[in-house]
A and B are shown apart, each in its own frame.
Chain A
Amino acid sequence: MMKLSLGPILWFWSKQSVFDFYGQAAEWPVDTIYLGEVVCSRRRELKPDDWLDLARDLKACGKNVVLSTLTLVESEADLRRLRKFCEQDEFLVEANDQSALQVAIRNNLPFVTGPSMNIYNTATLKILARQGLQGWNLPVELGKETLAQLIAELEQEGLDLPAEVFSWGFLPLAWSSRCFTARHYNLPKDNCQFRCLEHPDGMELRSRESQELFRINGISTLSGSRYDLMRELPDMERMGVGTVRLSPEHQGMADVVKRFDQVRRGEMPDTDPLQLVEAPPCNGYWYGKPGMDFLKESV
């Protein structure tokens, strides 16, 4: 049976909200939980030690815990925080940029890679496998055809590198040194007043025809539609996908996890999705189409 994972929280939530969220997640049927700040170096409601404490608590609840690193590493301060995660040996690390790869490899720490890592072919996977790669996420812009080829090639090479697929949530699409939330409020990034805290699921960016295009979330830009591959789970199972990733939202997540858990067990989900954050669905990337597309019938 495929594993279910909770990806790192992409939004900026208060420390209490984060603890409350994972307090509940400890009871959910997810196998793996990714912890850590992956978007903005100014988001420090939880210090590295807070994340490590949380990781130990969740591990004690039987969860496989992975520490996720920042996606855009720009300063010495970012590197210091990164080393804190990559110089421990209790937990696996999810490298989200090449700085993290380098530090993990230098410390002989096994690692996995997140969806922002530039992995497009088997040659790349082989290079990383020699240096401690234990598993990897498919970049969000790639689809099932490429994934099937990669899985087949890995098998031919005799490499056991389980693939994980971002399967539910707003897709992380871009990172900038600039902060779009601060820009919206006419604040400099260095004095952003942490306005992201007021937007626990980002800010909607629409075209002037009210089409939901993106979600602004600090320095990151996410999809305006919610990626949803629940109906594609049987497909993934047949292809040999190892883990299905669900991206945290602050409301309704228990229900989302429950439904995906039912589907991976071959059951029909018994509830409609409880989505308190309204957004259109999308699944185009999986079918090699523009990411925002939604194909109603399986292709």
Chain B
Amino acid sequence: MELVCPAGSLPALKKAIDHGADAVYIGFRDSTNARQFAGLNFNDKRASEGIDYAHARGKRVFCAINTYPQPDGWQQWKAAVDRAAGLGVDAIILADMGLLDYAANKYPHIPRHLSVQGSATSHEALSFYKDNFDIRRAVLPRVLSLDQVRGVAKHSPVELEVFAFGSLCIMAEGRCYLSSYLTDESPNTRGACSPAKAVRWQETPDGLESRLNEVLIDRYGPGESAGYPTLCKGRFEVEGSVYHAIEEPVSLNTLDLLPELKELGISAVKIEGRQRSPAYIADVAGTWRQALDRVSANSQHFSVEPAWNHTLAGLSEGGLTTIGAYHRKWK
């Protein structure tokens, strides 16, 4: 299984490669990718340096162009595909059918990976993308349970990559409009969920409040640790009870599923977090490298080192980790 790590900057890319990533994924500095953050991502010069760095060490670079262009943006998004091709990336991660078609026709030699934003949750959906755009690999949404991943893997016409660690998106990706409902930006349209420009923090007598476009997402009492106001992770009121009505602010960690993922024939595990620091990427990549080497040497007797979980827990949102949707508890 390959280790695919995020890189939001050149230093992060180098850290990922140095600490054991088999491939890194990057995006351009605009809304053509699903992690549009101020100060993040690559211009052509930096991307070129990063690609050289990775290739010199026998590693690969994928470019994510995984938002959905509207008529206004079509030329810009198409140009992003041209730029990625010109830079010599090893694969382009795409979601939009129009762009997949463009890339398949113009650059048939560059592998196409279906982004998680392509909303493919069954082997029939994967066949649609394979038949139409000859994708080589697909990233599965984080909504599937391990049994469902098994079902998809059994009949999948393409390589599969699954999310291993990082923020946990509990909605089917590529068709979640919660963010554009409260703000004017969504992952599909602008590569942003709960965008920072709409966030406001305020100390009040009732506690520290986090707001998104003035909507109260959460309020923290003394001693409670505050998290970024991702809108689905706030505390809301339903029929008189106030609780995390959609999802707790927890992160995904699938370390202990590694032997099963290997047995299912999963090709790659993906670390989320292009918005994270180089130091974070180094720690996560290093930990996962060790775990993957261990499972590859002997998956029968694989066990998770307490030190790995300790490292990962220290890096996780809210300090918590979960196996997320892969196990069916309350899901």
Contact = CB atoms under 8 A, between A and B. Distances in A.
Interface of A: 71-76, 78-79, 82, 97-99, 101-103, 105, 116, 118, 120-124, 126-128, 139-142, 146, 149-150, 153, 171, 173-180, 182-184, 186-190, 203-211, 213-214, 216, 221, 223, 284-285, 288-292
Nearest to A292: B181
A290 B184 contact: yes
B180 A121 contact: no
Given A189-B331, A208-B235, A118 B68 contact: yes
Nearest to B198: A290
Contact of A176 (B172, B177, B189): B172
Contacts of B132: 127
Given A73-B122, A121-B74, A177-B145, 7 more contacts: A146-B71, A177-B148, A206-B237, A208-B236, A213-B236, A291-B180, A292-B181
Contacts, number: 221
Contacts of B144: 74, 177
B176 A76 contact: no
Q: Name, among A82, A190, A213, the residue most crowded by chain B CB atoms within 10 Å (CB to CB).
A: A213
12 contacts: A72-B121, A98-B128, A139-B177, A180-B246, A184-B239, A188-B328, A188-B331, A205-B238, A206-B236, A216-B238, A285-B180, A292-B182
B108 interface: no
Given A71-B175, A74-B143, A184-B238, A189 B70 contact: no
A60 B238 CA distance: 42
B119 A142 contact: no
Contacts of B237: 205-208, 210
B283 interface: no
Contacts of A74: 121-122, 143-144, 148
Given A74-B121, A177-B325, A183 B180 contact: no
A176 B143 contact: yes
B330 A189 contact: yes
A126 B100 CA distance: 13
Given A141-B189, A176-B143, A120 B96 contact: yes
B174 A205 contact: no
A105 B131 CA distance: 11
A209 B121 CA distance: 36
B204 to A, nearest CB: 11
B121 A99 contact: yes
A99 B177 contact: no
B215 interface: yes
Given A141-B180, A173-B176, A184-B239, A205 B245 contact: yes
B114 to A, nearest CB: 10
Contacts of B246: 180, 205, 221
B176 A97 contact: no
B98 A189 contact: no
A142 B58 CA distance: 43
A183 B245 contact: yes
B101 A127 contact: yes
Contacts of B170: 176-178
B325 A174 contact: no
A213 B97 contact: no
A287 B239 CA distance: 32
B246 to A, nearest CB: 6
Contacts of A120: 68-70, 96, 98, 188-189
